Amino acid sequence: MSYQLPPDFLWGVATSAYQIEGAAEEGGRKPSVWDVFSSTPKRTINGDTGTVANDHYHRYESDVKWMVELGVKHYRFSIAWSRIIPDGRGKVNETGVDFYRRLCDCLLENGITPHATLFHWDSPQALEKRYGSWRSREMAKDFADYCTAIVGRLGDRVTNWMTLNEIACFTHLGYDVAGVPQMAPGSRVWRKKDVWQTSHHALLAHGLGCQAIRAASPRPCSVALVDNPGVTVPLTESPADIIAAQTAFRTNWVNGGIIFPALTGQYDEVFLQSLGREAPVIRSGDMETIHQPLDAFGLNIYTGSHVRASQKVPGYEYVAYPKSYPRMHMPWLWLVPESIYWAIRHVAEVLNRPELPLLITENGCAAQDEVTQQGEILDSDRILYLRQYLQSAHRAVAEGYPLQGYFLWSLMDNFEWAWGYDRRFGILYNDFSTQQRTPKASFYWYAECIRQNRVA
């Protein structure tokens, strides 16, 4: 099999603002919740923060040169709300907007299309103080106003917009902290209902954000949401295991309360029943606001769970990973390449959205990279991971599912949230003491995929 992809397949790389920009106190930027969280003792490994990160704010031109060398034609990055409206609402900081103007100009001059995510977790701390960020419905309105401000200013350069990245992570992992160490910012809430309320507000922000983007864009544009569903993978591909995986997908992790409302306009019924009194308050009109027409949908896929048919109610069971099951350098990063194919197929068949153009907006892995005496990083483990996931993406395309492109996470090693700089997801190695970037073997392998337009 040659694993050839269609001529118009989008090859990209992805990053996010807080994870690479640094320059936390420059250009009028004010603190985000991640500045405060990461500078609080014991919140991140080694007390790492994104204050300097990859210093991309000052080095974006040379980072774009690396993209040119890679041959990539699409770049997904995020915009920091706290650079654009440092107080969360109110006055726009034009110096912050200018940074993204310069970045986009540099991308466009180099033939690279910008894909901008408007929110990748780093909300202004001022809104945390004012009303507890996502705990309040006000956050959705403030987010939409921020969308209006930035899309109106950058819409002459950017036509591919993504509203929010991974709602479950910045709501459920931030607020649902009863009894477990907090993995992300968010004031502690003890009731599940309050946690579900935060993700409901984020869904509203997505809906209002879509409307704001379309109203503010000076040119026709594409609007997407980016989600990381819990992917159920049939253990065998027997018809019974496939039905089991499809059934389980509805209630796996937070799917029924996030990807379902976004794509169908309703919380999944079985899921809502299982929440019972812990379900969020849904006001009249909310579901219409949330269920906006989309031009694309982004899937961030890293792993999956195996499911098989069972005689017992509910007709399926999860299969635990055996002791020697392969895993990359994160506790949750089991090697389940089929998860890409099944995520795509579940959107088409379980969510009944076979027409919706899809993008893999993130896929990649952390590996224990070592620099050899010759200064090379021979990450054959990362190549093994990426090749198998891309083959699974190819299968989806070959079977006719509307997968349009793939963004590798990540262009370079960066600030991996609570794991700080301890975990490396990049295909460029970053020496954080010198900010020197070095291509890993996976960089050259991915360049070959792009050059040959196939999974090499």
Q: Which residues are catalytic?
A: 166, 362
Residue 338 vs 413, nearer CB to ligand IFM:
413
Q: CB neighbours of 229 closer than 8 A, spacing ≥ 6? A: 249, 252, 253, 255, 258, 259, 299, 343, 346
CB of residue 96 vs ligand IFM: minimum separation in angstroms?
20
409 is a contact residue toward ligand IFM (CB under 6 A): yes
Task: Give the long-range contacts of residues 239-243, CB within 8 A, separation 24 or more.
Answer: 240/308, 240/309, 241/307, 241/308, 241/309, 243/309, 243/315, 243/316
Query: For the chain, how many helices (H) and strands (E)?
Result: 16, 13
Tell me which of 5, 16, 418, 455 binds ligand IFM, using CB under 6 A: 16
Q: Distance (Å, rounded) from C-alpha 22 to C-alpha 118?
A: 17
Nearest to 328 by CA among 305, 303, 306, 307: 303
Is 171 or 247 the residue whose CB approaches ligand IFM more closely?
A: 171
How far is 221 from 232, CA to CA, in rounded Å?
32
Among 35, 166, 227, 286, contact with ligand IFM (rule: CB under 6 A): 166
Residue 37 near residue 368 (C-beta atoms within 8 A)? no
With binding defined as CB under 6 A, does residue 300 bind ligand IFM? Answer: yes
Q: Count Cβ atoms within 10 A of the Cβ of residue 456 and give its class: 0-12 exposed, 13-18 middle, 19 or more buried.
A: middle
- The nearest distance, CB 82 to ligand IFM, in angstroms, is 16
CB–CB of 418/184 below 8 Å? yes
Q: Cα–Cα–Cα angle for 32, 37, 43, nearest 5°?
A: 155
Using CB under 6 A as the binding rule, whether residue 413 contacts ligand IFM is answered as no
Q: Which is nearer to ligand IFM, 16 or 160 (CB)?
A: 16
227 vs 268 by CB, closer to ligand IFM: 227
Smallest separation (angstroms) from ligand IFM to the CB of 409: 6
CB–CB of 440/67 below 8 Å? no
Q: How far is Cα 270 from Cα 262, in angstroms, rounded to an integer?
A: 16
Query: Taking CB under 6 A as the criterion, which residues in 323-382 touch ligand IFM?
Result: 362
- Residue 54 in contact with ligand IFM, rule: CB under 6 A: no
| DSSP helix/strand/coil, 218 | coil
SS3 194: helix
- Looking at the Cβ atoms of 142 and 416, the one nearer to ligand IFM is 416
Nearest residue (CB) to ligand IFM, 241 versus 379: 379
Number of shown-chain residues binding ligand IFM (CB under 6 A)? 8
Contact 163, 120 (CB under 8 A): no
Smallest gap from Cβ 362 to ligand IFM, in A, equals 5
Q: How far is the CB of 240 from ligand IFM (least distance, A)?
A: 32
Residues 82-141 that bind ligand IFM (CB under 6 A): none
CA 161 from chain center: how many Å? 13
Q: Is the Cβ of residue 19 or residue 305 nearer to ligand IFM in the bound state?
A: 19
Q: How far is the CB of 424 from ligand IFM (least distance, A)?
A: 11
Q: Under DSSP, is residue 101 helix (H, G, I), strand (E, B) or coil?
A: helix
**Which residue, 272 or 301, has its beta carbon nearer to ligand IFM?**
301
* Residue 235, Cβ density class (10 Å: 0-12 exposed, 13-18 middle, ≥19 buried): middle
Choice from 416, 437, 439, 440 touching ligand IFM (CB under 6 A): 416
Shortest approach of ligand IFM to residue 119 CB, angstroms? 12
Which of 406, 425, 443, 446 lies at the binding interface for ligand IFM (CB under 6 A)?
Answer: 425
Q: Does 77 bind ligand IFM (CB under 6 A)?
A: no
At residue 368, what is the residue type? Q
Distance of closest approach, residue 166 Cβ to ligand IFM, in angstroms = 6
Provide the edge-to-edge strand list for the sheet that holds 305-309: 232-234, 305-309, 316-319
Q: What's the Cα-to-Cα distance from 420 to each of 48, 183, 439, rounded to whole Å?
A: 5, 12, 21
Site residues, ligand IFM (CB under 6 A): 16, 19, 166, 300, 362, 409, 416, 425
